[in-house]
Structure 1
Amino acid sequence: MVSIAPPLADAGPTTTSRRRLGTLIAACLAVCVAQIGLVLPAAINGEIQQTLHTSGSQLTWISAAFLVPTAILELTFGVLGDLFGRKRLMVAGAVIGALGYLIAATADSAGRLIAGQAISGIGAAALFPSSLALVVTATPDPESRARGLASWTTALSLGAFIAPLLSGAIVEYTAFQWAFAAVGILAVASAAVSLLLAGESSAPQGRSLDWPGQLTIAGALLALLYGIIQGPTAGWGSESIVGAFAMAAALMVAFVAVENRSASPMLRLELFRSPAFTAAAVVAVIGMFGFLGGAYDLSIRVGAIQHQSPLQAAVPFLIIQGITPFVWPLLVRLLRRVSPGLMLVAGFLSVGAGQLWLSGVPISDTALTSILGPLLLNGTGFGLIVSALTAAAVNIVPSELTGMASAATNLVRDFGQTLGPAIIGAVSLSIAATDLAGKLGSAGLTAQEGHIVDAVFAQGGPLAVLSAPLGPASAKVAPLAQQALAHGYDTGLIVTSIACLAAAVISGIFLTRKPQTVETPAPAAH
């Protein structure tokens, strides 16, 4: 059985209440810091691209490098938290994240920045499931559970709100590396708060590390994301990309086989016998791909294409993420009274409509008022979605499986978020490259200019052509590159809106009914 820290067993009601409050504060701060790291590059993608002269695929990897380990390690860290304590894991995750931010803060190349992002992502992989599991175990009754989940969701959204404000303000006056340094300081503070305030909880019964499962799922996700991100550069029909997709499929089959045979699986596949839990997982992948893919698309639009200043690029994300903290009381009431499915339907339709609306705004229009409607729709939808996804998945499992369910919920959500930049970057850059390649021949370039532009195009793609100092050739090719990129990323927004519509339909069919709790399987005989 999951319980709060053993020392509370004999404590009085006041001490128990204080410990639960401290646990909630520490968990909310931890997930806030983790989400700041996830969103951090959004407002400064343009500055990073211009400072480090990154290609389109490198810019995608800078965001994906954080998300990949977060998605891959969610389940393993969920097990570690169950075995050794969620508080210990939350402290360790913050320390690891701080180390990654230190490396990113000293980055003078895309490779070093990607490495720092990857280490920070490992820390976030520990923070997301451990913080959610602590919130769930610290809120045993339905009313406090609703408040706890709404608080956790609000903290997550607050982190996404702080990230562009922090990075935009810092980079407006200094180098982008200082933004990563600032988050590193917050990670250290989170570790200290968790150490001092949080109560411990664990659920070691029947849990053990499942290395075959971890290796197969990690290999499958890495191969899949490599194929998606490198596809536009290497060619979709190249041996490396086809091989990556084949390896991903084979390893995913192996993961299912391993988990079915394991005495102590990292993920009990019987959780997916519940249509509601399965639907919540599918919706999390598709829907969060739609949301974060659209957010990544927006970051490229305002930063790398329109070249708005870091503070100007931060404003759209402040609007999107600033809504949830203000509607926290409404989220609490909705979690008590409304089916998670109805919240998801409304949320995904709102986000999808916002993405579709944004795709129709001309790239030459940089006025905030022109995109205010799409931003408000995205922000409203995000608050509904994250609250409802967590409730839909966690509330249908028995208490002894909340750690695993928390980790599984975070894994599928973060995997969907990882697919966002990967797929939208691949689709948009492929379309933009094809579009620009067809226009360069009629750009009126001299032979020498053509040679230089072709070299830059081959090395860095349309983003490099738009941003590189090409002398007189820039006046000829930059408008063409901007038009090509606008076409590509507008198409990306249409893709994300379709994904959100699909998530809304699945939610309406499977998650609007009262879910059946998954029964705890009997222990296997030995």
Structure 2
Amino acid sequence: MSTVANAQAGSRAAVHTPFLTPGTRVATALAVLLAQVGLAIPAVLNGLFQEDLHTTSAQLTWISDAFLVPVTLLELTFGVLGDLFGRKRLLIGGSLLMAIGEGLSVLTPRAGASNTGAISLLWTGQALTGIGAAVIFPTTLAMVAAGTHTVRDRARGIAIWAAALSSGGFVSPLLGGLVTKLHWGGSETAVWRWAFVAVGILALISMAVATLAQNSSAPEGRSLDWGGQITIAVSLFALLFAVIQGSTWGWSNGWVIGGFIAAVLFFALFITAERRSPAPLLRLELFRSRAFSVNSIITVIGMFAFLGTAYTTSIRLSAIQGFSPMKTAIAFVLLQGFALVLMPLTAKVIHSYNPRWALGGGFLLISAGDLWAATRPASDLSIWPIVGPLVLIGIGFAFALSGVTAVAVNTVPGHLAGMASGTTSQLRDFGFTLGPAVIGAIALSRAATDIQNKLAASPAVQSALAAFDKSAPPEVAGAVHSGPLGANAIPGNPLKALAFAALDHAYAMGYVVCGVAALVAAVLAAAGLSGTGHRPLVTEESLAD
């Protein structure tokens, strides 16, 4: 009988962990749902952030990325800490950090003459929440991997974990929509703070439930590896900083160019540090496996495509069309709800068939949905034109997420579960972080160029703008941050009508970019994972060769 346990039997370092207890299953599922709720909650509130805090486009992007950047930087590190000191402690601590971070976010004041202080406090709160999520994502997956010892049990455990993570993606907008709809004595724009209150309460509940989980660890051969942690953190931060700020400062800006150079330099230092370390943060030998290497590339590209799609959809519905948070939430239910509904089917597929079918088919559906959505104009002020595309994307994501997770975890020896979980989580969330950053940069640059060209070519529009006391060509952010550009904002205002059309076309291009990325991921899965079954493709013996 082919089992994960059999492949691990020859490894002296493998640490036996009992089968998952019900308390561990509930605790890991609730915690990863919490982390994903925290990640996704800002997306549905983008329109309210703009109205209440008067954010620029760059500030709006950094609200989400203040959460995502520490997640991306620290997941490998917390994978090590869980192996060394026990994953149950980290699970409890991660939930506590998220509760504290959401509490800080709630204290964000309304913007006065300057919004700098308010935005800075919100960024700080979201960054601390992101650190908590960076603890939770690899810790929960490592606990599932350590407590499942057969292919069937691991497939079921991964499917439940993936369904809980994806469920957080649609629970968060429903939660955001509900609290903003109730108002609770606040103004319509200011009540977004109650959404963070709700997430903080969920974090405290998760912390309490985590006390019921079983502990696991795998300390042999693991160390803090400070050289590896510092170099990879600096490299990723420099890259993300350059990508995010490039759209605002310009790609020829010295700081942006310096960011890209620093990213390459420190990544080279990371490789050097890992080769010399006796207990590396990431064993580079893992990439000798074609399946592991290809799956790593697929994870980054595919998750970029998915969260880029979610970001594009959020901006289209909330900031451009002016939909309420509750109406915007419908889109996120379609995007991420299918992972829960299809959980028995995804578990069966990744257990019974080659994982490349789940991966390739899932990303192919995401690509088709994105390219279909790109043809639906935002001028039709209804959600119905994009319901079909979002259904395709949601079904595709259910299979793709389970597939990339299964390949990553099943292709390494059991005692490297923490490393594999940390690597998979970091690659997934690196792709997630790139999604809003790259799509935002492409869309806003395209929209700004479109507006400037139309202003220069149309004296009639310039005359109309003069009547509105608009004496200079606006930045896209200036056209947007005064409020959503939906139907009620357009009549009689040529500036907003112009911005509406420009942003509609720009974010349609965002769907196209995501669709192409998802298609690339599907092709890589079909071509690069042929022959991949359920056996571990990296063993302790192959690592030593």
CA drift of 1:213 comes to 1.1
Alignment correspondent of 2:21: 20
CA drift of 1:161 comes to 1.9
Q: 1:363 aligns with which of 367, 370, 378?
A: 378
- Are the counterparts in 2 of residues 23 and 138 from structure 1 also a CA contact under 8 Å? no
1:303 correspondence with 2:314:
no
CA drift of 1:163 comes to 0.7
The total of aligned residue pairs comes to: 510
1:153 correspondence with 2:168:
no
| Separation (CA, whole Å) in 1 of partners of 2:138 and 2:206 | 15
Alignment correspondent of 1:511: 529
Aligned partner letter, 1:166: L
For residues 128-139 of structure 1, what are the structure 2 equivalents within 5 Å?
Answer: 128-139=137-148
Alignment correspondent of 2:501: 483
Cα–Cα, structure 1 residues 275 and 472, in superposed 2: closer, same or farther, change >3 Å?
A: closer
Q: 1:463 aligns with which of 468, 477, 480?
A: 480
Alignment correspondent of 2:106: 105
| Separation (CA, whole Å) in 1 of partners of 2:47 and 2:80 | 38
Alignment correspondent of 1:347: 362
- Are the counterparts in 1 of residues 321 and 485 from structure 2 also a CA contact under 8 Å? no
| Separation (CA, whole Å) in 1 of partners of 2:511 and 2:543 | 47
For residues 242-253 of structure 1, what are the structure 2 equivalents within 5 Å?
Answer: 242-253=257-268
Moved more, 371-380 or 446-455: 446-455
TM-score, with length taken from structure 1:
0.93
| Separation (CA, whole Å) in 2 of partners of 1:518 and 1:399 | 10
Cα–Cα, structure 1 residues 468 and 275, in superposed 2: closer, same or farther, change >3 Å?
A: closer
Alignment correspondent of 1:170: 179
- Are the counterparts in 2 of residues 445 and 473 from structure 1 also a CA contact under 8 Å? no
Moved more, 321-330 or 376-385: 321-330
CA drift of 1:459 comes to 8.8
TM-score, with length taken from structure 2:
0.90
Alignment correspondent of 1:119: 128
- Are the counterparts in 1 of residues 295 and 525 from structure 2 also a CA contact under 8 Å? yes
CA drift of 1:486 comes to 1.0
When you count helix as a share of all residues, which structure comes out higher? 1
Aligned partner letter, 2:332: F
Q: 2:413 aligns with which of 393, 398, 416?
A: 398
Alignment correspondent of 1:278: 293
| Separation (CA, whole Å) in 2 of partners of 1:283 and 1:377 | 19
Cα offsets for 1:450-472 (capped at 9, x unmatched): 764648x3493442366599x99
- Are the counterparts in 2 of residues 90 and 126 from structure 1 also a CA contact under 8 Å? yes
CA drift of 1:444 comes to 3.1
Alignment correspondent of 2:516: 498
| Separation (CA, whole Å) in 2 of partners of 1:465 and 1:185 | 32
Cα offsets for 1:267-310 (capped at 9, x unmatched): 11111110000001000000000010011000000000001111
Cα–Cα, structure 1 residues 483 and 47, in superposed 2: closer, same or farther, change >3 Å?
A: same
| Separation (CA, whole Å) in 1 of partners of 2:365 and 2:479 | 31
| Separation (CA, whole Å) in 2 of partners of 1:104 and 1:405 | 32
- Are the counterparts in 2 of residues 331 and 384 from structure 1 also a CA contact under 8 Å? yes
CA drift of 1:445 comes to 4.0
- Are the counterparts in 2 of residues 44 and 171 from structure 1 also a CA contact under 8 Å? no
Cα offsets for 1:116-157 (capped at 9, x unmatched): 111111000000000001011111122211111111111111
Alignment correspondent of 2:4: none
- Name the SS for the 1:203 alignment partner: coil
Name stretches of at least 5 consecutive residues in structure 1 with no aligned partner: 6-15
Moved more, 122-131 or 513-522: 513-522
Alignment correspondent of 2:73: 72
- Are the counterparts in 2 of residues 390 and 409 from structure 1 also a CA contact under 8 Å? yes
CA drift of 1:314 comes to 1.0
For residues 394-473 of structure 1, what are the structure 2 equivalents within 5 Å?
Answer: 394-441=409-456, 442=458, 443-445=461-463, 452=470, 454=472, 457-458=474-475, 460-464=477-481, 467=484
CA drift of 1:369 comes to 2.3
Alignment correspondent of 2:88: 87
Alignment correspondent of 1:192: 208
| Separation (CA, whole Å) in 2 of partners of 1:30 and 1:176 | 22
Cα–Cα, structure 1 residues 440 and 474, in superposed 2: closer, same or farther, change >3 Å?
A: farther
Aligned partner letter, 2:49: I
Aligned partner letter, 1:45: N
| Separation (CA, whole Å) in 2 of partners of 1:63 and 1:523 | 38
- Name the SS for the 1:388 alignment partner: helix
Aligned partner letter, 1:387: S
- Are the counterparts in 1 of residues 355 and 532 from structure 2 also a CA contact under 8 Å? no
Name stretches of at least 5 consecutive residues in structure 2 with no aligned partner: 1-12, 110-117, 184-190
Alignment correspondent of 2:50: 49
Cα–Cα, structure 1 residues 115 and 483, in superposed 2: closer, same or farther, change >3 Å?
A: same
Cα–Cα, structure 1 residues 221 and 462, in superposed 2: closer, same or farther, change >3 Å?
A: farther
